[in-house]
A and B are shown apart, each in its own frame.
Chain A
Amino acid sequence: MASTLEIRDLHAGVEGKEILKGVNLTLHQGEIHALMGPNGSGKSTLAYVIMGHPQYEVYSGDILLDGESILDMSPDERARAGIFLAFQYPVAIPGVTVAHFLRQAVSAVRGYTAQKNTNGPVGSNLIPLREFRQELNEKMRMLGIDPSFARRYLNDGFSGGEKKRLEILQLAMLRPKFAILDETDSGLDIDAVRAVAEGVKQLVGPDLGVLIITHYQRILNYIEPHYVHVFYDGRIVKSGGPELAHELEAQGYEWIRREFGEPVAHA
């Protein structure tokens, strides 16, 4: 049965300042949703709140995965439950190689635990190295990523495009139920956008629900969404099919501002 991720009347913010003002959105596995809106409308906040960033507080509403609230879960528990966030600004962590980090992540998400046999514990809590390498190589090939990536330090000295491709590689390896792509296309030239989008396209299918958060139409030229939502001042103000994205592209966000007014800070 397909999983669902449901965001129900979500109000959240930072230090008492409300940024999300009643978000309602339901994703099913296999669906691609695009969340479009101007800068500063709270799109990235939504992504962080879904992932459980400790800096944000939820004031009311809920996020449900298959009907169960995830609000009390830590970020790693959410990841293990099948939620993935591709970061807009992935952090660089020197000294930790991509391959080793990913092996830990894959093992954690897939729930590897040490097996015991007559000789004692075997294989610690990690996916067997051979199996992991094989899968990593396969995914890197599929995404057109150079094998040398695996030995580099996590995002350390990576170009903008490389960082985003590494996010997609992680998505491919972790096989979540739901992926949120936060401005994955931002800051990339058109070739890089294409490369990243082609990667995502190979991963979409019946087992993955995707929420593409973007400012522009251009990534949607490669990945056709089933649904498009317009996000403005902390909530979804309009939803529709793919044609809505084209409309936004043609008219910009001005008409949204006219129709829904300037953002008003809630007291």
Chain B
Amino acid sequence: MRIQERTREWTFTIEAVHALSDLLDEPDWMRDLRVRAWRFFEEIPWPTGKEETWRRTPLRGFHLDAYRPFSPERLREIPTEGELATVYQDHLAELASSGELIMDEGQAIYHHLAEEWQARGVIFTDMHTAVREYPDLVQQYFGQLVETDANKFAALHYAFWRGGTFLYVPRNVEVTLPFQTLARLSLPHSAGFYHTLVITEENAAVTLLEDFFGGQEGMHDGVVELFPGPNSRLRYAHVQDWDMTLWNFGTQRIRSSRDSEVIHLISSWGSRLSKVWITLDLVEPGARGQLLGVYFTTDHQHIDHHTMQNHIAPACASDLLYKGALKDESRSVYQGYIKVWPGAQKTDAYQANRNLMLDGRARADSIPGLEIEADDVRCTHGATAGPIPEEYLFYMESRGLDRTQAERLIVAGFFEEVLTRVENEDVQRKLEATIADRLGVPLEDLGY
């Protein structure tokens, strides 16, 4: 009986929710949250493809039953500390950081926080440790921004979330070097549910870069919640580098306080299909936010970003730039909405989606939308899709570069405009390295 219990293959059920909470020895409030989320999950129907957000991203071929929500047994198979070096060294070496967190299959396997920041009250740890050691703080924020019923996948996430980054920066603390998280799924057919929570208090500043990879034949359903406090600066870069066979779902949301400045970047390189919602709420005057995105799709990949710039308070600014390059029969969907609420005067809101079509068979859909209920606002949006101009290629070829080299340089340059907006050279270098990796060439060959 006991053996059976230990090796039991959990499926997505309420029993599994409890079993997971038991396994993690969680406080009641977290168990309740999971249970509530599970009910929402059961209530919310599966997308049929008729919903506006799902119309261009069919879930054909995705079967939740094919995955297991967690498997205590399999956790033992993840690499040991000794194997760590080889797997993660490259990822870590690219960035000098204030702290690193490495997770596999939702479990923290390496953690480091520079003493300097620890002494000044910075918390940087995995989510489970945070729940255990800082329950009040976590409870105050966890699940408060991305609601448990935000969508079917958010509900599923909250019922089964496991692993993730917790980063808290107290008042007046400006962390110089970025923090870095590596979140991996090393076993095939895994279901990952990483949860990221970042809080910057008044006048604080921090940068977090998260790198998600692995997940062969798996799925990932993540949530990111960012809380930039008053007059704080928060930079967040999300590198989605999942295996090309993984199904990726994500809900990310930012709540910007008075005079805060946030830069959110997502780079979508991996997964077979990716559907990510990103919402920026500007809730107090003077908040500024940039939403940046880069994607490069190949084969039959399908990458969908659905964004929302939500201007609730007056005198806020949001600036969105998403750029993608598409090859083969891949497809991208960009759906972006700017909403200016009544009373949100002096709003500045921009949105641009640019697509470089490297192949006639690829397809990029761009659906911008505006809803403006204030009169003193500046809003623009625009979308383009087109091939690399022949004149660019001829110019480069006339200097001795072959067509492939020329294309690569042009694509890298096309992304560069987005990367420089991160305004952090270390993060920029790291992102450039992921681009080089995605294009399958040494970094140097990209001309960075």
Contact = CB atoms under 8 A, between A and B. Distances in A.
Interface string B389-401: 1111011111111
B447 A51 contact: no
A152 interface: no
A80 B400 CA distance: 5
Interface stretch (B23-31, B277-285, B413-421): B413-421
A96 interface: yes
Interface string A75-108: 1101110001101001101111100110111001
Interface residues of B, number: 28
A174 B416 contact: no
Contacts of B371: none
Given A75-B394, A103-B447, A125-B445, A96 B412 contact: yes
B392 A91 contact: yes
Nearest to A170: B399
A87 B397 CA distance: 13
Nearest to A48: B394
Interface in B408-433: 409-410, 412-417
Contacts of B402: 74, 76, 108
A149 interface: no
A126 interface: yes
A19 to B, nearest CB: 17
B88 interface: no
B448 interface: yes
A76 B401 contact: yes
A53 interface: yes
A75 B398 contact: yes
Interface in A49-68: 51-55
A172 to B, nearest CB: 13
B416 A96 contact: yes
B428 to A, nearest CB: 12
A2 B447 CA distance: 34
Contacts of A108: 399-402, 405
B412 A95 contact: yes
Interface string B369-391: 00000000000000000000111
A75 B409 contact: no
Contacts of A75: 394, 397-398
A124 B444 contact: yes
A265 to B, nearest CB: 26
Contact of A104 (B390, B392, B409): B409
A124 B446 CA distance: 12
A97 B447 contact: yes
A79 B416 contact: no
Interface of A: 51-55, 74-76, 78-80, 84-85, 87, 90-91, 93-97, 100-101, 103-105, 108-109, 124-126, 153-154, 170, 174
Interface of B: 389-392, 394-403, 405, 409-410, 412-417, 442, 444-445, 447-448
Given A87-B398, A100-B448, 8 more contacts: A76-B398, A93-B409, A94-B414, A95-B415, A97-B447, A103-B447, A105-B396, A108-B401
